[in-house]
Structure formats: C-alpha cells, structure tokens
Structure 1
C-alpha cells in the first residue's frame, strides 16, 4: 500500500480556502506546530505500523484539529484534509456533513 503523506503546504492551502469561503479569523500559521502535528501521523505510520486508511484519515483530523497551528478553522481543516486523504485513496464518504462536523467537535472537546 502506498501511503500518502500531506505536506504542510497543502494543509495551509486547504485552510486558506476555508477561511476565504467561510467565516473565520485570518492570521499567521504556526508552521513548526503544524509540522509537528503532521509528524505525529508520519511517525505512527512508520514506527507504529499504522496502515488503515480510515485510521490514518482520523489521525489527520485529530492531529490538525487539536494542534491549533492554524489561525482558525482547525477542526474544519482537519476534516477537509481527512476527506481529501480518503478521496485520494478512492473512498468517498456519503454521510451527512453535520454528523461529521459533530464528530470532529466531540473529538476535540472530549
């Protein structure tokens, strides 16, 4: 299985698109913090043997959402990255977006 790893630049592009099209605070991205969040995923893949597409997508969501490396829309960006990751791996989710948004919110607040 070829593992797709998202470069931090792509995450920033997704976040910028979200903030351009939806409400949210604009500001600087904490690049080292974002790279650290993405590094947790890469480390889990390489060192912990994480290879399930859905678990990797969930880890992208969680790591980006809780890192707060982006000026705003961290949860939305985490979910968007996960959905793009799944799409790149030939999976399309058909669930209601509200259910996904609620799940991400619950993930972050515990």
Structure 2
C-alpha cells in the first residue's frame, strides 16, 4: 500500500485545484491507498465557515468534504502558519483537522511514498 500525501495550496474558488484534490483523495482511498491531505497557503480558506461561493458563480464543494469521513480519510492537516498568516485559527474551520507545524509537515512528507501538489 502506498502512502500518498496530497498538498493543496491554491485558493478554493480561484481554480478547480481543491475540487481536484478532493477527487484524488476519494479515488486513492477507494483503491485502498493510505492518503493524507495537507492544506496550506490560500487553500486554508476552503475550510472557513460561512463561505458564499454562489456569489462568485461557483458550486459549493464544502458539502463534499463530508465525504472524506465516509471513505475513512482522517489524516487531514492544515498548516498552522498559513492559518495564522490569514488571521484564522482551527476553531473556525468546518472540518476537524490537525494543525501542522513545519516539523510536522516534514514528517508527513518523509513518510510519503508519493506527493501530489495542487
């Protein structure tokens, strides 16, 4: 079994990269791969409550994030520095994620068989 780390760095509605990351996670989990999702940079905005993507003409994919639990994907990490830089903290996030410091991210990457950055 491979351990795949998917890293999201792009803002949630600027491109489709977060939706693509979510799709990848679900596909990898469906074929019994161990998957971890690391959310950093502007991608942390995808976890903020009270989003209104319809104002941008976008479909709200945050409901699909609940699918992660159905696929037993529980290795979800958010970069602590990215949250702080954007004036956020983990108490305001829509998912239960672990915060990752730099050394935590390095440990995740060291365990990975494959890393996908979107």
Q: What is the TM-score when the length of structure 1 is the normalising length?
A: 0.31
Greater relative contact order (CA < 8 Å, ≥ 6 in sequence)? 2
Higher strand share: 2
TM norm structure 2: 0.30
Structure with more of its chain in helix, by fraction = 1
